A = this chain, B = another copy of it.
Amino acid sequence: MNASERPQAPLLTNPRADRVREVAKLAGRSARLRQKRFLAEGPQAVREALRLHQTRRTAGEAAVVDEVYLTAETLERYPEFGSVVPPRMVTPEVLAEMSSTVTPQGAVAVCRFIDSPLTVVLQRRPRLIAVLVEVRDPGNAGTILRAADSAGADAVVLTSGSVDIYNPKAVRSTVGSLFHLPVVVGIDPGTLLRELSDRAVTLLAADGYGTWNLDRLQDASAARRLAPSIGSTDSPDAGGPFLEAPTAWLFGNEAQGLGQDVLQAADYRVSVPIYGSAESLNVGTAATVCLYASARAQRLEGR
């Protein structure tokens, strides 16, 4: 019997039903940790959650989506949402009550935690990793995760002091990217950096005071490709990191940046140059520039 043949559960109309309350609780961290589940809200997040669910189920792996709640209007607009996990139909009022957003846009999925163990990520010989060290703002964390996805990074790691990536605002800020690449959470920074170093992954600390200028590193990388003689030891960038090497970028706290211990454990401190008179870059913006610089260097290398 496939999903469409299943007898349909009755429409949920009571915003104060226990089931509604259980879902709504997932906006809070303690309920998420207890249930090991979180909310994907809105059609885009639900679509990506269902897509990952299907991929994993096909591969014989654990389920991602436990429950899908849709309004009639949403199911009509996105009939494919009804074909993976049998959806429970709800009124807009019930959906609003379940969701932490003002406009949940007719779709909510209850998902199981999908983070990956660090060992699994490391076994796959990652070439590009984004590490968030005590990044506290859910919007920033989501933006970095989305940028990492766009840059084709192999994984995102959030250290133990960082925001909960399952926070509804963080999930929303990833615009579905949370379901696209492996995410590792709750890792001790010291352990992480040792593990990465052991595997010859270059640790680049994104640091406004860094001595290595990202634009010069990009230029050195281009020079190695295009005109090898320019990339010789005469270059002012000699001794600097190779952006084309397997790399983990370390991004720090919005206010304090990276701590001394992390800066010291890093192989190089790299700054995104500021050409105008801005005092600093937003961490999400800086991360995007750094990750794209590595992605370009790594992808062009083989040409």
List chain A positions with a Cβ less than 8 A from chain B. 44, 143, 146-153, 175-177, 180-181, 215, 218-219, 222-223, 226-227, 230, 272, 274-282, 284-285, 288-289, 292, 295-296, 299-300
Determine chain A's interface SS by DSSP, over half rule. helix
Nearest Cβ on chain B to A130's Cβ, whole angstroms: 11
Rounded to whole angstroms, the CA-CA distance of A284 and B176 in the bound complex is 17
What would be 8 A-B contacts, judged by CB atoms less than 8 Å apart?
A: A143-B285, A146-B282, A150-B285, A175-B282, A180-B277, A181-B277, A222-B223, A288-B288
Kindly list the 4 A-B residue pairs having the minimum CB-CB distance in the complex, ordered from nearest: A152-B275, A222-B222, A149-B278, A149-B276
Pairwise interchain contact A143-B226, C-beta atoms closer than 8 A: no
Pairwise interchain contact B281-A147, C-beta atoms closer than 8 A: yes
Rounded to whole angstroms, the CA-CA distance of A133 and B148 in the bound complex is 26
Whether A279 touches B230, Cβ cut-off 8 Å, given contacts A147-B285, A222-B219, A289-B288, is no
Pairwise interchain contact B295-A150, C-beta atoms closer than 8 A: no
Nearest Cβ on chain B to A190's Cβ, whole angstroms: 28
Rounded to whole angstroms, the CA-CA distance of A71 and B152 in the bound complex is 48
Nearest Cβ on chain B to A7's Cβ, whole angstroms: 35
Pairwise interchain contact A230-B219, C-beta atoms closer than 8 A: no
Nearest Cβ on chain B to A177's Cβ, whole angstroms: 5
User: In the complex, which residue of chain B has the Cβ closest to the Cβ of A284?
Assistant: B285
Rounded to whole angstroms, the CA-CA distance of A35 and B280 in the bound complex is 31
Nearest Cβ on chain B to A40's Cβ, whole angstroms: 15
Q: With a CB–CB cut-off of 8 A, which chain B residues contact A143?
A: 282, 285
Q: With a CB–CB cut-off of 8 A, which chain B residues contact A279?
A: 44, 175-176
Q: With a CB–CB cut-off of 8 A, which chain B residues contact A272?
A: 150, 292
Nearest Cβ on chain B to A63's Cβ, whole angstroms: 20
Nearest Cβ on chain B to A170's Cβ, whole angstroms: 14
Q: With a CB–CB cut-off of 8 A, which chain B residues contact A219?
A: 222, 296, 300
Nearest Cβ on chain B to A112's Cβ, whole angstroms: 20
Rounded to whole angstroms, the CA-CA distance of A281 and B147 in the bound complex is 7
Name 4 extra pairs, CB < 8 A, besides A146-B278, A180-B278: A147-B285, A148-B276, A150-B275, A281-B288
Nearest Cβ on chain B to A147's Cβ, whole angstroms: 6
Pairwise interchain contact A276-B152, C-beta atoms closer than 8 A: yes
Nearest Cβ on chain B to A84's Cβ, whole angstroms: 18
Rounded to whole angstroms, the CA-CA distance of A108 and B152 in the bound complex is 43
Rounded to whole angstroms, the CA-CA distance of A177 and B222 in the bound complex is 31
Nearest Cβ on chain B to A202's Cβ, whole angstroms: 19
Rounded to whole angstroms, the CA-CA distance of A282 and B289 in the bound complex is 13
